[in-house]
Amino acid sequence: MDSPNIEDLKKTKTKLEEDIKKLQAIGIPNPADAILNILESKGLILTKRQIAKKFLILSSQKFNPPMSEDDAQLFIYGKVYYKDGKLFDNDKADPACVAQPGDEDYQPPIDLDNHPLCQKIEKIIKDFKDSLKQFGAKLGEFIVAIPKIIITIATSLISMVSSAIILPFGAGLPAALTAVQTMMAAIAELQAKIAVFLPFIEPIVEGVGLIFDKIGQMIVSLLNTIFGAVSTITGALNSVLGLLGAVNELFSSTKKKSDEQKIAVEAKAEPTEIDKGESVKLSATASGGDWSFKYEWTDFNGSVVSNAAEATITPSQPSMYKCKVTDGKGSIAESTVKVKVNISLADIINNAKNIVKEVLT
Going by pLDDT thresholds of 50, 70 and 90, the confidence category of residue 4 is very low
Q: Comparing 230 with 116, which gets the higher pLDDT?
A: 116
- Domain coordinates of the chain in residue numbers? 1-259, 264-342
DSSP assignment of 238-258 equals HHHHHHHHHHHHHHHHHHHHH
Q: What gap in Å lies between CA 180 and CA 243, rounded to an integer?
A: 10
Over residues 89-115, the mean pLDDT reads 88
Answer yes or no: is pLDDT of 334 > 90: yes
**81-94 residue pLDDT tens:** 999 889 999 888 89
Q: What gap in Å lies between CA 79 and CA 75, rounded to an integer?
A: 8
Which listed CATH number (2.60.40.10, 3.40.640.10, 3.30.70.1880, 3.90.1300.10) goes with 264-342?
2.60.40.10
Q: What is the pTM of this model?
A: 0.46
Within 10 Å of residue 204's Cβ, how many Cβ atoms?
23
Within 10 Å of residue 76's Cβ, how many Cβ atoms?
28
**Exposure letters 91-129 (e unless 16+ CB within 10 A, then b):** beeeeebbbeeeeeeeeebbebeeeebbeebeebbebbb
